[in-house]
Every structure is written in C-alpha cells, then in structure tokens.
Amino acid sequence: MVELIEIYGSDLVHSHRQEERYEQALALFSEAFGSGPVDVFRVPGRVNLIGEHTDYSQGYVLPVALDRDVLFIARPRTDGTIRLANAEAAFPPESFVLSDAISPAVHGHWSNYVRGASQMMAQRLGATRGMDVLVDGRAPWGIPRGAGLSSSSALTVAAAVALEHVNGLAVDRQVLAEACGYAEWYVGTRGGIMDQFAALLSHQGHALFLDCRPEAGTGRYHTQAVPLPPEYAIVVVNSGVRHRNTSPLFNTRVAEVRSAVALVQQRFPQVRSLRDLEGIPWESYVDLLPEEQSPDDLAQRGISLATLMNGGIMPDSVNLQVRARCRHVTGENARVLAAVEALAQGDVERLAKLMREAHASARDNFDISTPELESLVRLAEEIPGVKGARLTGAGWGGCIVALVPVTSVETFVSRVPQGYQRATGLRAEAFVCSAGHGASRVTEYTRS
C-alpha cells in the first residue's frame, strides 16, 4: 500500500485537489452501494517515449507511467456477482457473474474491459469472489480516453488488481501483467504487454525498459528502471482527434507484421518474430517482403491469415503493407536500445534525435500519423529547447509527447495549443506529466 504523497508528490495544492477527488469518488460509491468498508486502487495511464508497435513483435519498449490514473473503489461480496458503477453518467451501471466464461456486453461497452479481466482472473488464478465497484476516470485527473494513453488497459489492470485483493490472492506482478495483456483479447484486440507492464511495474521518476520476449526457461521478462533527466518535463499534448474505430486498423498492423514473419521464415526458419531479425542484414531478406500482399497472395504461398491472427478480428480485405511495417519494427527496436543507452549517459540530444527518427518511421513506414499530429509535432519543435516531439500510442489520432525544459514548460503549454487551433481549428490539451508509480492500493482511503 502507498500514500497519496508517494503517488502525486508533496505539492500542497495538488495534494488537496487529489484528496477532494478521492473523497468525491468515495461519496459516489456510497450513493451506489451504501456505506461500509472499501478498498481504493489507482492505476496509471502511460505514455511511450519510444518503441511504438513493437511489443506484439516481442520487441523493446520504453514507456513511462503517468500521474493521470483511474480510481477503482471496490467492496468484496460474499457471492460471485460483480456490480459496476461509474462516476460518469455516460457509462451506465452493469453487473455480471464472475466465471471462466463471461458473456460480453454489446461491442464497445465500457464493462467489457472489466469482464475480460474478470474472466481471466477466474480462468487462470481461480478467483471466485465478486465485488461492488465504482470507477472514476473523470478529467482532469483521469486518463484521457481515445488518446493513446492506455485508459482501457488501466481499467483492465484495475479490475485484476482489485479481484486479486478481494480474493486473497498474491500474484507476481509480471505474471499478472502478462495475464492482463491476454485479458484484452476478450474485446477483440491482439496487442502486446507494454501497457500492462507499465501500469504494474513502473517506478516514480523513471521510464520502464521492457524486453517483450520472455527469457527461455524462466518465462520472466527483463525490465529496467531508467532514470529520466530531472531538468526536462514530459509534456503530452492531446490532439483531440480520435479515430472512430481503431480496432480494424490495429489488427491490420498485427496481421502485417505476422505476415512479414511468415514470409521471412521461408528462408530463415529460426525467426519467430520480427525481433529475431536483429543482426540479419536487411538486404538478405527484403526480397521476401513485397510492398503489398493480399490475403489471397499469402494463401497461395501456404500462409493462412486467419491462423496468424489466432481468432482475432480479421482486417478488411485490403493489401497488406508488409515491407514498410517490417522496416519500422526492426528500426524501432534498435532505436529503443539506443535510447536506453542515451538516458544512462545523460545524452538528451541523442535521445531527441532517436525520438524524431521514431516519429518519421511511425508516419512513413507504419502509417499511423495524421495531419493533426504532424501539426502538433511541428509546433512543438518550434519552442526553443524542446527535444524529441513525436506521436505516441497506437496512432491515428491521440497524442504527441515531447521532452520540454522545465524553464520552457509554461511557454510550451501556451503556444502549442494556440498555434494548433489557428492551424486546424481544433482545440488541443497540453498537460505536464510526472513519471509516476505503478498500480497502487491507497492507504489513506482504504477503509475497514
């Protein structure tokens, strides 16, 4: 358990606002479920400094947990029912019974992330006891939704952590993080494990280096807390642009990188993911990777896209951009390793160069940028001293991240949104982030 000061810092004004936030959430819980003992959990969002779309290729990532989080107030029940309420009226109450085969709500319903976590906890860890829950992810302290800052994964992790406690379990954090990654398959995505590891294993003031391939034999993942330069702030700018449905786009990228692996395996059978292309010259396999490849073309070469997607939502019948996607992932893995080295050496200029290269590759090779994100990056780079502005998250809207000198933060958060509105007619929200703790059970607000 941790105290608020450990999570949010010692600034008195900020601490008071967080106290008010927690008290309001507790009052809403009491309105929904009555008074009595509760446990309060909070799970952070994350911003990825570098390493975009590499985790599901068993690559490297460098996320930072944020001080923006979701609150999850829970009370154990004596049966297996899970009752959900939300601080926001847009998300109606819901209930279901904890089991290893939970029926989903309608597609896109907010409760499906909790359902997926609950089913996973029952299947893998034997959870049987339900709970009453109040979820609070309201602005300004909640994680912006649809911005690529992992609000959905935070909800999944929060449900898992709460059920772990309610059921008296003690689960290794890596085991739980990996399980939460699989739990999101419930909603149809085939993502990686970065979001869940960042939510559970992050340390204040540090980025989290994660090697997304488990070690042979132990199944453990290599992680490393990487100190961030204190003279720079991490500033996230939300473009306000949210793609209506990113799941087909995301799953298409998964299909493309898995198709690339299947094609390369025809010459290099030892390759299990694009991660295994480290050390193999690009020229030795690029001829195996067409610029475009249709599902029918793959089938003619003995490759089943349905098998590669392992039951995930299939992409539309479009040509897969195999070569460019492979170029991005292999280059991005190398950039992450170089970024960790740069941070260890205090070389912010080198880190900034790597982040700029990562943005260009995400735009040109992985095709996940938008005109709005490009506008934000240009505006950010016009502020003196700003380092490494780039899109972050899944893409197709959402946010950029930049390293901003502490002395330039006020200028940045004023000028960039103003310039963005002039250029696009849209409003952008800039917020200064602290590298925060992973998921926590909060001492002050856990009441027996």
Domain ranges of the chain: 4-227+435-441
DSSP sequence for 145-173: TTSSS-HHHHHHHHHHHHHHHHTT----H
Instruction: Compute the Cα dihedral for 347, 349, 351, 353 and give only its sign.
Output: negative
Return the pLDDT at 3.
85
User: What is the Cα gyration radius of the chain?
Assistant: 22
Structure tokens that stand for 12 in this block: 């008195």
- 136: alpha, beta or left, given left = phi > 0 and alpha = psi -120 to 50? beta
Return the pLDDT at 342.
98
Structure tokens that stand for 55 in this block: 């985790």
Return the pLDDT at 207.
98
Let me know how long the chain is: 448
Question: Domain 4-227+435-441, what fold?
Answer: Ribosomal Protein S5; domain 2 (3.30.230)
3-state secondary structure of 114: helix
Where is 94: in which H helix or E strand?
Answer: strand 94-97
CA distance 177 to 65: 14
Query: In the block, which residue shows the tokens 């280096």?
Result: 209
**Axis crossing angle, helix 173-183 with helix 111-125, rounded to the nearest 10:** 130
Return the pLDDT at 146.
74
CA distance 281 to 286: 9
Return the pLDDT at 312.
64
CA distance 298 to 302: 7
Residue type, 445: Y
DSSP sequence for 290-334: -S-B-HHHHHHTT--HHHHHTTSPPPPS--B-HHHHHHHHHHHHH
pLDDT < 50 stretches in the chain:
none
Structure tokens that stand for 130 in this block: 């339900």
The residue from 195, 297, 316, 347 that is catalytic is 195
Query: In the block, which residue shows the tokens 């490849």?
Result: 293
| Pairing mode of beta strands 206-211, 94-97 | unpaired
Q: Annotated catalytic, 195?
A: yes
Q: Are 379 and 419 in contact, with CB atoms under 8 Å apart?
A: yes
CA distance 116 to 21: 27
Structure tokens that stand for 227 in this block: 């100190």
Closest C-alpha among 394, 319, 411 to residue 149: 394
| Residue 205: Cβ-neighbour burial (10 angstroms; 0-12, 13-18, 19+) | middle
pTM: 0.92
